[in-house]
Structure 1
Amino acid sequence: MRLNARRALDSPLVCGVIGVVALLSAAEAAGRLGLISTVQFPLTSTVLLEAAGLAADPAFLADVATTFGGWALGLLATVAVAVPLGLLLGSVPPIEAALRPVIEFLRPIPSVAIIPLATFMFSGRLDLKVAVILYASTWPILINTVYGLREVDPVAKETLRTFGFGPLSVLWRVSLPSTAPFIATGVRVAAAIALILAISTELLSSGAGGIGNFIVLAESSPEGLRMQVAAIVWAGLLGLVTNGVFVWGERRIFRWHTARTGATQ
């Protein structure tokens, strides 16, 4: 029995659940004991009940679908742009050297800061969301792709060249398969960034729909704060689920890479 309990505690999932339950319980206790104001910070139980109620609200579910749709389109557009660009930069050093100053200039710019500018450039709300996601989510995929190409075994590439394979064949047969786990990690990080930017865009652009727009409109409701926090809980759950799906996919598709590196995430 003790051995089984110890094994359960060694599981990251079990430890994570225990941590979440402990945090929520502490917040509930602090509210009920008067240590924090329940006016400014609603009770955990109240927020969770409100979040459960939103699951049966068709209007809110439509907003979730709007956010998720924009997130998916933005992420697909990012992968379609960032992966080929990363392969190009990683395969042709002179091009990378020429574009490196531009990348290092653009990458640190806060993504939220470009939303007002993008609002003037894109009239459609979906176009706006996709454009902002594309800008913000490109960097982790691009950098990971370039870094992954640097980690490709040079002996494997030289062997193919010796047998007469051209640059494209070497890229397709050796470089791309070896870089794929790095690209997948970049996509997973980009997925989280894309969700943040999707909701941020909805918060800052009126009439965009989605979870962000729901949070803004909930402010005028009598139960405004409670509804807003409940919607934030749903945003966190979406992020948790999407990250879990990507982690699961990486472990299944790239088992050889996980076994070699000992990676758990």
Structure 2
Amino acid sequence: MSPRRSLLGAVGVLGTVAVVEIVSRTGLVDATALPPASTILAEAGRLAADSEFLVDVVASLRTWAAGLLLAVAVAVPLGLLLGSVPVLDTAARALVELCRPIPSVALIPLATVLISSSTGATVAVVFYASLWPILINTLYALRDVDPVAKETLTSFGFGRLAVLWRVTLPSAAPFIATGVRISASVALLVTISTELLAGGFDGIGLFLTESQAGGGRPEIMLAVACWSGVLGLLINALLVGAERVAFRWNNAKVEGIA
């Protein structure tokens, strides 16, 4: 990220903090519903040293990672199969278009009934939510592969698997990685939402539930929301950095075109 974009982002964050502080301190918004930003940030700082909260954060990240990795393990091979075999792609298209608009949160009651473990139910819902961005990006990436490159390799006697390994996968990999990055954000949101609605023994969602039960202190809930946003920002930044390192050749090509 360029220094200018970083500066603008920092200005946006500081501006939001200032607006929340002003509207709460001046009484434009009830302070019991929206505490001052300074109070929220102080509570967020306290949570950073709260061992119970940190245990819940680790538990949520563990569930998030399990659901996301399972989605990658299923969506990428399935996308490669459907994208490489047109008959299968056509046969499965209606099912994909039918299933992917279903809100993952709507499946929480079903998951809790079918899976006795609360963690297992959360992983299942996260898997479902994360599956579709990766699968769709994989399918579109395969359709965007240069057909001339594939035909050239085929004309030199390379088989279908060799073409897939040498041309299709390298060309599609940046798009698949983008799908994984989108799914990572979706998975974190669904993890916390499922923990909040389905309950369990640990996790950020459970911490929020217990905070509400303990008197509904809004500064705690908003501080937890801030930390959830920070986690999402860090995950996205790590994945963007990994993409830049892994696909330097693609970045160079895009910059050359620009």
Say whether the fold is shared (TM-score over 0.5): yes
**RMSD, matched Cα:** 1.6
Residues 95-114 of structure 1 mapped to structure 2, 5 A cutoff:
95-114=88-107
Measure how far apart 1:260 and its partner are.
2.4
Given that 2:199 and 2:205 are in contact with CA atoms closer than 8 Å, whether structure 1 keeps it comes out as no
Query: In the TM superposition, what are the counterparts of 1:165-180 in structure 2 within 5 Å?
Result: 165-180=158-173
Query: TM-score, normalised to structure 2's length?
Result: 0.95
% identical equivalent positions: 52
The one-letter amino acid paired with 1:163 is: F
Give runs of aligned pairs for residues 83-162 of structure 1, distance below 5 A.
83-162=76-155
CA contact (8 A) 2:118 2:199 kept: no
Segments of structure 2 that go 5 or more residues without pairing to the other structure are none
Deviations 1:93-138 (A, max 9, x none): 1101001111111011111001111111111122111111111111
SS of residue paired to 1:219:
helix
Rounded Cα–Cα distance in structure 2 between residues aligned with 1:100 and 1:240 = 33
Q: Which moved more, 1:122-131 or 1:190-199?
A: 122-131
Contact in 2 for aligned 1:202/1:208 (Cα 8 Å): no
3-state SS, counterpart of residue 35 of structure 1: coil
- Give CA-to-partner distance per residue, 1:22-57, whole Å, 9 cap, x none: 111111011111111111101110000001000111
Moved more, 225-234 or 97-106: 225-234
| In structure 2, distance between residues paired with 1:180 and 1:60 | 36
Quote the Cα distance in structure 1 between the aligned partners of 2:133 and 2:225: 25
Report the count of equivalent residues: 256
Matched to 1:255, the amino acid is R
1:48 aligns with 2:22: no
Name 1:14's counterpart in structure 2: 7
Encode CA deviations 1:216-238: one digit per residue, 9 max, x unaligned. 11012246222111111111111
- Corresponding residue for residue 223 of structure 2: 230
Task: Using the TM superposition, name which of 242-251 and 79-88 deviates more.
Answer: 242-251
TM-fit CA distance, 1:249: 1.2
Quote how far apart the aligned CAs of 1:208 are: 4.0
Indicate which of 192, 204, 224 corresponds to 1:211. 204
How far residue 262 of structure 1 moved from its aligned partner, in angstroms, is 4.2
- Whether the aligned pair in 2 keeps the contact of 1:90 and 1:146 (CA below 8 Å) is yes
User: Deviation at 1:254?
Assistant: 1.2
Q: In 2, distance between residues paired with 1:137 and 1:54?
A: 28
Label 1:120 to 1:222 Cα distance change in 2 as closer, same or farther (>3 A).
closer
What SS does the aligned partner of 2:138 have?
A: helix
